[in-house]
Amino acid sequence: MAGIEPGDIGKLAVCGDSAGGYLAAMTALYAARQGIRIDALGLFYPVVAPACETESWRTLGADHMLTRDWMRWAWASYLGDAGSLAADVDLLRADLASLPPTHIITAAFDPLRDEGEALGAAIRTSGGVVTMTRYEGMIHGFASLPMLTPMADRAITEMSRKLFVNNSVD
């Protein structure tokens, strides 16, 4: 975002999946503080908080592709010596009112499911605009697996329509 001046861009949507969803949300929050307008935010099964203590983490975080141990390692690697700043990186503790209209896609068999849905609820509570879809029967990362499931194409198409066809999430 370096070099982008407020007001010198057209429509801008930011989107990411998993850790990229976390980075997209943090980018949108940072942009708002800098006066840069982002028109829409798309999050596929986003990482939200370092605690890894939701019900979906407890029930799905040991035997599925994405494990609680791995995620805790990833958070520790991301935070480095700043581990005490975990509260500052927890999206559920952030001021979410400045987020643009947001669409969140979660997967039923994903340890991140509850985090993504909690983020959606927190955005709504903050007065933000959010829509959410849970894909039943799907696992973490399914949207990047179109060769394995037609649900991947459906999710990508849904997100594209939410972000681009409508020019913002409705």
The residues carrying an active-site annotation are 18, 110, 140
At 117, list the tokens. 């849905």
Query: What is d(CA 49, CA 93) in angstroms, rounded to the nearest whole number?
Result: 9
Cα–Cα distances in angstroms (integers) from residue 112 to residues 1, 37, 66, 98, in the given order: 27, 28, 9, 23
Cα–Cα distances in angstroms (integers) from residue 83 to residues 78, 86, 88, 138, in the given order: 9, 6, 10, 32
